[in-house]
Structure 1
């Protein structure tokens, strides 16, 4: 019985499956990218990533362990010379699977599996990303919150307050002048009848 055996047998015997994964791992190490089915790529990912982790420690024991899986001296030397230097700072996830659609004959899911640190196009695109709108808004906020901008804003507020105070004073002064003129006008009107009465009395006397 196959209780708790969840890995994909790929329709092959144990010896056939191990030989196939070993051959695919050698091809991936030499060419850095291969085209295969999605099921085989997932099985290869589990097979090769522990070997890449072991290649970070370049000792005789780790080289012999890798050779027992790969069965290829050239692939082992490339793994410990080139690949280990590239992945030295990476804590895992050395491979990437890129789906390419289904195969015409049997409609099997196809994909590329590649070593992440050897895809130069993706590394360049990741390093040269376009600026987003958030950066523009943050730059505006920075310019507005600069000390020079704050000083300008304070001076503008002070000038506006002064203008408002001057306008209020002018508005208050205008009603006072109008009230004074009105108070003077009745006095002038009250004086004129007395003067007319005195003129009439003088005319009568003269007569």
Structure 2
């Protein structure tokens, strides 16, 4: 029997094609018709694997979540909870920075996405094992997601044009060098992320110490 000229359609091929479209042109570029054309198949054949465009975008988002390193949350890993959160956050942001157009979908939360749920499970489990109360561990997971996805939604440096005449000192006396920010976009964005991440972790460390201290305080017996 002759081999088919094109690889058989699969979920992985659809997700790969959709990911390429999202990366190149953004979320609005994805449609079942466009994907079918890119893959050289008929539109209805996609529905054997996904019910609609939203399911395809969910799968693209989950493929990005699967790129995030979770090894620091394994019980065998020697890193403490602050180092683990730091290294995970750096890995997570790197994955999002490589695929910025899918960030709005990821920001909605994991829903039923397997890789996204593994991320949430790993963070929560590690925080509880470290001694955080479950409620606070939930807050930390939410806080980290807000911070990381927010940092990946846009570039501060790209918000300024590289025209030195755009920022008149008479109007903006402190923005004399703002036109140079775009030139140093990566340095500015990564430096801001690292500064914020360390400040966030230092604040959490103080809360952790207060929580631990409160646990050691026991009420005196009656009559003492």
User: What interval of TM-score do these two structures reach, taking the shorter chain for normalisation?
Assistant: under 0.3
Q: Which protein has the larger Cα radius of gyration, Structure 1 or Structure 2?
A: 1
Query: Which TM-score applies when normalising by structure 2?
Result: 0.25
Q: Which has the higher strand share?
A: 1
